């Protein structure tokens, strides 16, 4: 009798064997050289797997002629120092890299190109990552947290790293994940929650051997391993009487700990630290500032080439909602801008892309431009905490593209991506001291069969990696790239339908949730899922919309409000300060306005709220039959999972529409001009 309860195979994401057919059906020469190491072995293994499956041939040699080969993958001294060069000449496609990691990325570039990689001859094209560090932070707990579960803000099951109170014995899922990350250019992973609990803290000491096993799995794919550590570790783990960063015993404890870490994992990346934020210990307890705290760890890891990613997510979470001058959005700038120039060179200040908390729409954080003498990493959130918990289709590539391409500094000539990558803008002086930090994000995977719970949320992980490599990439093209790889050879209706559902899904999600840049209308009792317009309105967490009978929005102007607009460089401080120039999509983030205020679009604020919510739900409803029409054209299990999630999205979007529309009708007394029902 057959076993019908077997665990289904793990979905291959964007790396199914069929995606390798154009490469695998050809004659391939791999020249890795004598120092290729484990990443070089991965290149060979990938090609061998492809040619075995698709009938091509593989030749591996230290030195060999390109004759009689269709594709040459070669490590060479004349290759680029990072990335790779691809060209086609005389009917042969050649990928050249300066090291094995660049060659791995070049191999996957060929896979993405498919048959086009073997088309007409073309001159060399160099592909280099803009950001030196392209990291994913996992919020995984070893012990299941009573409130947050095993993966904090995780919407795809349990952890791929931990089970039964320890690192898993079987790391095969981690190996498959490492392969996914290496294929899109991600080169760093922090494997535990930034909210470091008691058991997770011991990864730094007792658990190092298990961390080394995880690092062994990531290393062959060009990915370095990091740990999130607690600033309170000297007391918690070392038995010291203090965590004071200026105490010699504390400094000695961190130095000795770093020595043990790198002795166990010689290519270890470094530490990620959340301090003095949401209850985590930090230097404030000792009258020290965050430069003191970050430099303590930086000096401990510096002899080993380590880096400290110090999160700027620091604010008072015990605020008084009665105080209209209190503004959580100001906090990170107020804490960190005065410290610019005091951080050691191996400290990277990790700044959330917006001033609040990964909202569906926020302005870019001014902190990113406020510390030019400090290395900065911009932090994104791939896991859909505020964008539908991976129950809603919400392709975030366009959001991240807008953020990374936003011309924040130097009179709107230098982008966020340039700042994070140490790259100049058109107005950057030639002698400028440019400092590279990187791009980081919170991961969205778990032990779910489809990695991300919602199969279509895989596109967010894919797009993050590709945009971290090239922030100028077109997110719509990346979406189509992901579709082509994940559903190779599918009926054209599959591509058309997926593109139609996903292309503007971020804007659709925004259209039925919080309007015009006002934030935090989510339900705090459901883990930030679903609507609760007043869920944070009288909250100690400090996120408000101030709706009353006359209007809505937060006055963050210098003239009459919290002064937040003054944290921006020119021209943005003036753009946001002035109602006439503030963009519609951010209006309520910066201004308190009457419901009858006319937007640049020509409609009033209240009618915009009414119309956009109703229109968005109608659009989401139309997705259900479109997806149903693909039954039999995609994998049955995948089809069923997406159908189930779309049903929930329609239900939730309807709840959003009705609660938000009704709330503002009851506040304003202004009817919907369209006559649609309000409750």
Given this model, what pLDDT does residue 66 score? 65
Sign of CA dihedral 172, 177, 182, 183: positive
> Could you give the CA distance from residue 164 to residue 97 in angstroms, rounded to a whole number?
42
Say what the pLDDT of residue 6 is.
57
Distance CA(69)–CA(91), nearest Å, equals 9
The stretches of 265-328 forming alpha helices (DSSP H) are 290-301
pLDDT of 269 reads 98
Euclidean distance between CA atoms 172 and 378, whole angstroms: 31
DSSP H or E stretch at residue 83 = none
Block mean pLDDT (10 aa), the chain, length 679: 58 98 98 91 98 97 76 93 96 96 98 98 96 98 93 97 97 98 98 97 97 98 98 98 98 98 98 96 98 98 98 94 92 98 98 97 98 98 98 98 98 97 91 94 98 98 98 98 97 98 98 97 96 96 95 98 98 98 98 98 98 98 98 98 98 98 98 95
- Give the up-direction half-sphere exposure of residue 617: CA atoms within 13 A in the CB hemisphere: 21
What angle do the packed helices 492-502 and 605-628 form, to 10 degrees? 160
CA distance 35 to 52: 25
Cβ 521 vs Cβ 535: under 8 Å: yes
Give the pLDDT score at 499.
98
The answer to whether the beta carbons of residues 214 and 224 sit under 8 Å apart is no
Q: What's the pLDDT at 33? A: 83
Helix (H, G, I), strand (E, B) or coil at 282: coil
Q: Which domains does the chain have, with CATH numbers?
A: 17-127 (3.30.379.10), 134-486 (3.20.20.80), 509-554+592-668 (3.90.1330.10)
Q: Is the four-CA dihedral 111, 112, 116, 117 of positive or negative sign?
A: negative
Per-residue burial over 260-280, b = 16 or more CB atoms within 10 Å of its CB, e = otherwise: ebbeebeebbbbbbbbbbeeb
Is-catalytic flag, 357? yes
Give me 121's structure tokens: 């001859």
Question: 204 — alpha (psi -120 to 50), left (phi > 0) or beta?
Answer: alpha
Distance CA 99, CA 80 (A): 8
What is the model's pLDDT at position 9? 84
User: Which of 267, 138, 133 minimizes the C-alpha distance to 190?
Assistant: 138
Give how far Cα 383 sits from Cα of 419, 640, 676, Å.
24, 22, 34
Question: How is 538-575 classified by DSSP, letter by letter?
Answer: T-TT-------SSEE-----TTTS-SGGGGSPTTHHHH
The answer to whether the CB of 34 falls within 8 A of the CB of 40 is no
The pLDDT value given to residue 8 = 74
> How many Cβ atoms sit within 10 Å of the Cβ of residue 59?
15
Catalytic residue among 62, 267, 278, 534: 278
Which is the catalytic residue, given 292, 357, 410, 555? 357
Active-site position among 385, 447, 510, 577: 385
In 3D space, the residue among 113, 306, 58, 458 whose CA is nearest the CA of residue 105 turns out to be: 113
- Between the alpha carbon of residue 112 and those of residues 118, 209, 412, 482, 486, the distances in Å are 12, 36, 34, 9, 11
User: What pLDDT is attached to residue 4?
Assistant: 44
Q: What is the pTM of this model?
A: 0.97
């Amino acid at each position: 009798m057959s076993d019908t309860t077997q665990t289904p195979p793990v979905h291959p994401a964007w790396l199914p064997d069929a995606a390798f057919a154009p490469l695998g059906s050809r004659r391939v020469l791999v020249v890795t050289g004598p120092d290729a190491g484990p990443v070089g072995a991965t290149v060979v293994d990938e090609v061998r797997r492809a040619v075995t499956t698709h009938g091509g041939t593989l030749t591996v040699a230290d030195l060999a002629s390109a004759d009689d080969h269709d594709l040459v993958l070669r490590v060479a001294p004349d290759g680029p120092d990072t990335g790779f060069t691809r060209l086609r000449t005389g009917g042969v496609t050649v990928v050249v890299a300066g090291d094995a990691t660049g060659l791995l990325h070049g191999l996957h570039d060929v896979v993405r190109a498919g048959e086009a990689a073997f088309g007409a001859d073309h001159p060399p094209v160099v592909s280099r990552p803009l950001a030196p560090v392209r990291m994913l932070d996992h919020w995984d707990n070893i012990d299941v947290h009573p409130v947050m579960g095993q993966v904090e803000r995780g919407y795809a099951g349990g952890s791929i790293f931990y089970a039964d109170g320890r690192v898993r014995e079987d790391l095969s899922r981690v190996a498959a994940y490492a392969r996914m990350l290496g294929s899109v250019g991600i080169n760093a992973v922090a494997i535990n929650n930034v909210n470091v609990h008691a058991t997770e803290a011991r990864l730094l000491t007792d658990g190092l051997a298990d961390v080394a096993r995880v690092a062994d799995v990531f290393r062959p794919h060009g990915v370095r391993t990091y740990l999130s550590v607690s600033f309170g570790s000297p007391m918690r783990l070392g038995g010291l009487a203090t965590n004071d960063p200026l105490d010699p015993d504390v400094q000695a404890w961190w130095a000795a700990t770093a020595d043990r870490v790198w002795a166990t994992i010689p290519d270890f990346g470094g530490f990620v630290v959340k301090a003095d934020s949401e209850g985590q210990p930090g230097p404030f307890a000792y009258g020290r500032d965050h430069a003191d705290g970050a430099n303590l760890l930086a000096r401990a890891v510096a002899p080993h080439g380590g880096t400290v990613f110090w999160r700027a997510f620091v604010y008072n979470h015990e605020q008084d909602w009665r105080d209209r001058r209190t503004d959580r959005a100001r906090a990170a700038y107020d804490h960190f801008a005065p410290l610019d120039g005091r951080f050691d060179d191996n400290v990277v200040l990790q700044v959330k892309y917006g001033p609040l908390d990964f909202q569906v729409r926020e302005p870019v954080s001014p902190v990113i431009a406020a510390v030019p003498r400090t290395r900065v990493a911009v932090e994104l959130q791939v896991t859909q905490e505020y964008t539908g918990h991976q129950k809603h289709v919400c392709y975030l590539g366009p959001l991240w593209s807008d953020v990374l391409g936003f011309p924040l500094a130097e009179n709107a000539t230098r982008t966020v991506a340039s700042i994070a990558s140490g790259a100049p803008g058109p107005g950057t002086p030639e002698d400028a001291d440019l400092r590279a930090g990187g791009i980081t994000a919170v991961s969205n995977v778990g032990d779910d069969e489809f990695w991300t719970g919602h199969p279509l949320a895989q596109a967010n992980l894919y797009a993050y990696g590709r945009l971290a490599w090239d922030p100028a990439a077109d997110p719509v093209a990346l979406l189509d790239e992901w579709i082509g790889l994940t559903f190779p050879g599918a009926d054209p209706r599959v591509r058309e339908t997926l593109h139609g559902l996903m292309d503007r899904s971020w804007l659709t999600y925004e259209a039925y949730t919080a309007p015009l840049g006002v934030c935090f209308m989510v339900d705090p009792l459901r883990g930030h899922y679903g609507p609760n317009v007043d869920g944070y309105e009288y909250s100690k967490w400090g996120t408000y919309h101030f709706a009353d009978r006359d209007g809505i929005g937060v006055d963050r102007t210098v003239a009459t409000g919290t002064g937040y607009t003054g944290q921006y460089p020119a021209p943005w401080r003036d753009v946001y300060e002035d109602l006439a120039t503030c963009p519609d999509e951010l209006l309520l983030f910066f201004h308190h306005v009457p419901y009858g205020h006319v937007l640049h679009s020509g409609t009033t604020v209240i009618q915009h709220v009414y119309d956009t919510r109703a229109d968005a739900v109608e659009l989401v409803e139309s997705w259900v039959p479109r997806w149903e029409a693909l039954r039999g054209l995609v994998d049955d299990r995948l089809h069923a999972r997406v159908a189930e999630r779309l049903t929930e999205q329609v239900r939730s979007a309807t709840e959003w529409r009705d609660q938000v529309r009704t709330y503002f009708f009851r506040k304003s007394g202004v009817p919907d001009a369209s006559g649609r029902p309000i409750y």
